[in-house]
Amino acid sequence: EKHEEQPSENTDVKTKPQKRKNTGTEKTVKAKKKKKNEQKKTITDVLSTSEPKPGCPADLQNLITQYFSDKRSVIEQEELKLRLLLNETNHFFSFLSLPVVCPKWAKVQKQHTEKSSVVLLIVCSSALRTIELIKQLTTFKGEAKALKLFAKHIKVEEQMKLLQKGVTHIGVGTPGRISALVEKDGLNLQALRYVVLDWNWRDQKLRRMVDIPEIKLDFMKLLENGILSGCKKEKVKIGLF
């Protein structure tokens, strides 16, 4: 009986402290790792401590090059690089106001008579931002007609009818809805001459348009749907806000 009691007491004494020590240290280590990972992942925290640098044409070129790096053959990538380098020197430029991009806007506006098309396309990240930018266009646009092109509360078919109904000079909207209109032949890019990207504007989380994955993908699709080919033909100029 004595021999049977002693091992049971010894095993209790040996095993209990070991289990408590291991579980305690593991929990504290995991908790510290989680805190570190959370701090690393938050873009907002990093950007709020330092003033974000304004974007430049090189940023757009790098974005396009990286996006197509695994989607095009080596030859196609080289062609894209050459095309982008030419576009950077001749067609990509930063600006402070729309008159810098469209110096002959009054003349261009009068010459545009095609329906289901626009001369100036302003691409931004959200419906609210679209409305805000249209308000800021009041002085610049003059008698030109501007149309909001976003998905919130507005169907694609309704926007297609509005574009077909009369001449629209300026389209302001999100890349997703603009791409959808182009794919459905509701918006023709043949008359397009200026593309303005709301590049440096940031939302409440300090994210730019291209920092949001789904919007970034829609933006790249929009470039593929005719804007890059327009740049290659030297018909389209791109500006960055």
The Cα–Cα gap between 195 and 192 comes to: 8
In a domain, 231, yes or no: yes
pLDDT in tens, 180-194: 999 999 999 999 999
- Of 229, 148, 158, the C-alpha closest to 190 is 229
In a domain, 86, yes or no: no
* Alpha-carbon 132 to chain mean position: 17
In a domain, 232, yes or no: yes
- Of 114, 115, 133, the C-alpha closest to 196 is 133
Residues 106, 29 share a domain: no
In a domain, 15, yes or no: yes
In a domain, 46, yes or no: no
Residues 190, 119 share a domain: yes
CATH code (residue 143): 3.40.50.300
In a domain, 83, yes or no: no
Domain count, the chain: 2
pLDDT in tens, 93-147: 554 467 777 888 889 999 999 999 999 999 999 999 999 999 988 888 888 999 9
Cα separations in angstroms, 219 against 17, 35, 56, 212, 228:
58, 33, 17, 10, 12
The Cα–Cα gap between 122 and 100 comes to: 15
Global pTM exceeds 0.85: no
Range of the domain at 167: 95-240
How many beta carbons lie within 10 A of that of residue 47, not counting itself?
16
